[in-house]
């Protein structure tokens, strides 16, 4: 069998790596700077699944791509001709339309570190992912000639000899119970014009077969994803969070839940710890569930005050639909049936992480620590859904 070799950049907690692992790829190494996200990646894919070969010259720890590019130039260049795929996308917060969209966010410059890395390793294929806002120029009104970062990346990759195909893809089309649109760019080294465009064509062609082979529904809803994780199933002390309660598993009611619970034999789902809500907040949530007429639409502005919502905005989830984009802010969504926000595990289910995948580090954080820490909720919200990554990995193997 061919050994398909991949390097994962800006790996986060491992959503993309997990999908590629499930598609039969062999990891060479992964670069992730944040210790919290790296702890999850390491536990699941390095220690549990032995997904990465990891070269002797590279430390097995949280790594900064800027340091890697500077320190290991010769080692990276020596990999030329041996790497089939470099996957991953730089942090997206500076480009996100959901956030403040900051032109001078230092993380935006990591795009150039990505291109520098590609220029040294020159993989046969590359898969680049970012938010949809990556395709919009900063300050277009003030400067009509400003161009989006996506255009810069495309031009630089073409100069390196890649045929590229950029697309905005909605992951809900690929069995993920979430409306999540992302900029996906595939590059083929020395490919004829149009070669990279095969990616999306094949992705759509293979979709139905993938669902059949894995006994998965094509369009699972939020309830399909998490209805076996209700608090009403019963609760117990959270094993790794003192003073908190976790839910216990209910009965499996559909194929999506069956798929997510493979390899799991415990009665307590990992990272399924309920938040503490004050009486006032719980009452507000109960009122919204009983009387608010619209689901999956953000409540903000004056309407927030009318319903007694104290946070910046809130969406009441619709059990019969797919979820809006899971973010790294746990307070963004109200559970479709119970007066509470969702747990990390419920968010992970909606992101298509299987239940055997365990999240490490703190559950949440706040204040200035948001700039330094990537707790469990953020790890899940920042990830690429593994179910999409798996399908992408199968198509990329086919292209090779």
108 to each of 105, 134, 209, how far by Cα in Å?
A: 6, 10, 38
Listed as ranges, residues in the chain with pLDDT below 50 are 93-102
CA dist., res. 208 & res. 214, Å (int): 10
* CATH for the 5-216+384-399 domain, from 3.10.50.40, 3.30.565.10, 3.40.50.150, 3.30.110.60: 3.40.50.150
User: Residue 149 in contact with residue 102, Cβ under 8 Å?
Assistant: no
Q: How far is CA 191 from the centre of its chain?
A: 28
Token pair of 106 as six digits: 């230092």
Q: Which distant-in-sequence residues (6+ apart) come within 8 Å of 289 by Cβ? A: 316, 334, 337, 338, 339
- Residue 221 CB neighbour total at 10 angstroms: 19
* CATH for the 222-366 domain, from 1.10.287, 3.90.120, 1.10.490, 2.60.40: 3.90.120
Q: Which distant-in-sequence residues (6+ apart) come within 8 Å of 351 by Cβ? A: 15, 176, 178, 326, 380, 381, 383, 385, 386
Token pair of 45 as six digits: 């894919």
Q: Which distant-in-sequence residues (6+ apart) come within 8 Å of 355 by Cβ? A: 260, 261, 263, 264, 269, 270, 345, 348, 349
CA dist., res. 327 & res. 92, Å (int): 12
Q: How far is CA 115 from the centre of its chain?
A: 21
Residue of 9, 6, 5, 22 whose CA lies nearest to 353: 22
Q: Which distant-in-sequence residues (6+ apart) come within 8 Å of 361 by Cβ? A: 35, 36, 37, 39, 40, 373, 374, 375, 376, 379
Residue of 255, 279, 265, 275 whose CA lies nearest to 345: 275
What angle (nearest 5°) sits at the alpha carbon of residue 35, between those of residues 247 and 177? Answer: 45
> How high is the pLDDT of residue 137?
62
Domain boundaries, the chain: 5-216+384-399, 222-366
* One-character DSSP codes across 256-323: HHHHHTTT---SS-TT-BPPP--HHHHHHHHHHHHH---SSSEE-THHHHHTT--SS-EEE--TTSPB
In the three-class reduction of DSSP (H, G, I as helix; E, B as strand; rest coil), residue 248 is classed as coil
Token pair of 201 as six digits: 């064509």
**Going edge to edge, which strands form the sheet with 333-334?**
298-299, 314-316, 333-334
> How high is the pLDDT of residue 366?
78
Do 222-366 and 5-216+384-399 have the same topology in CATH? no
CA dist., res. 342 & res. 333, Å (int): 7
Parallel, antiparallel, or unpaired for β 125-131 and 181-189? antiparallel
> How high is the pLDDT of residue 111?
87
> How high is the pLDDT of residue 250?
97
CA dist., res. 114 & res. 65, Å (int): 8
Residue of 341, 398, 353 whose CA lies nearest to 379: 353
> How high is the pLDDT of residue 95?
42
């Amino acid at each position: 069998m061919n050994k398909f070799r991949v390097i994962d950049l800006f790996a986060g907690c491992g959503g993309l790596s997990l999908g590629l692992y499930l598609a039969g790829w062999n990891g060479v190494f992964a670069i992730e700077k944040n210790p919290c996200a790296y702890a999850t990646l390491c536990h699941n894919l390095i220690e549990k699944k032995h997904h990465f070969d990891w070269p002797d010259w590279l430390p097995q720890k949280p790594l900064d791509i800027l340091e890697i590019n500077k320190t290991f130039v010769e080692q990276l260049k020596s990999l030329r001709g041996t790497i089939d795929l470099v996957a991953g996308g730089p942090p997206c917060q500076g480009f996100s339309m959901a956030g403040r969209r900051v032109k001078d966010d230092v993380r935006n410059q990591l795009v150039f570190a990505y291109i520098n890395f590609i220029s040294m390793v020159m993989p046969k294929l590359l898969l680049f992912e970012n938010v949809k806002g990556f395709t919009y120029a900063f300050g277009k009104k003030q400067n009509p000639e400003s161009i989006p970062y996506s255009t810069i990346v495309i031009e630089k990759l073409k100069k390196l000899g890649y045929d590229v195909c950029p697309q905005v893809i909605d992951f809900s089309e690929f069995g993920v119970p979430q409306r999540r649109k992302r900029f996906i760019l595939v590059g083929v080294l020395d490919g004829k014009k149009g070669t990279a465009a095969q990616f999306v064509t094949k992705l759509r062609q293979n979709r139905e077969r993938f669902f059949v082979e894995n006994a998965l529904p094509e369009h699972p809803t939020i309830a399909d994803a998490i209805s076996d994780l209700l608090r009403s199933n019963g609760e117990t002390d959270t094993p790794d969070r003192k003073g908190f309660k976790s839910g216990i598993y209910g009965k499996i009611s559909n194929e999506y839940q069956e798929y997510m619970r493979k390899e799991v034999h415990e009665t307590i789902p990992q990272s399924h710890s309920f938040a503490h809500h004050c009486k006032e907040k719980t009452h507000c949530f109960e009122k919204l569930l009983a009387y608010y007429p619209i689901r999956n639409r953000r409540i903000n502005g004056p309407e927030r005050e009318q319903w007694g919502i104290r946070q910046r905005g809130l969406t009441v989830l619709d059990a019969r639909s797919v979820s809006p984009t899971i973010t790294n802010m746990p307070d963004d969504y109200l559970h479709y049936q119970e007066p509470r926000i969702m747990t990390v595990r419920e968010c992970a289910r909606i992101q298509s992480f299987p239940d055997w995948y365990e999240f490490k580090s703190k559950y949440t954080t706040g204040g200035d620590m948001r700039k330094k820490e990537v707790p469990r909720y953020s790890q899940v919200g920042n990830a690429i859904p593994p179910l999409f990554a798996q399908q992408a990995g199968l198509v990329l193997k086919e292209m090779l």
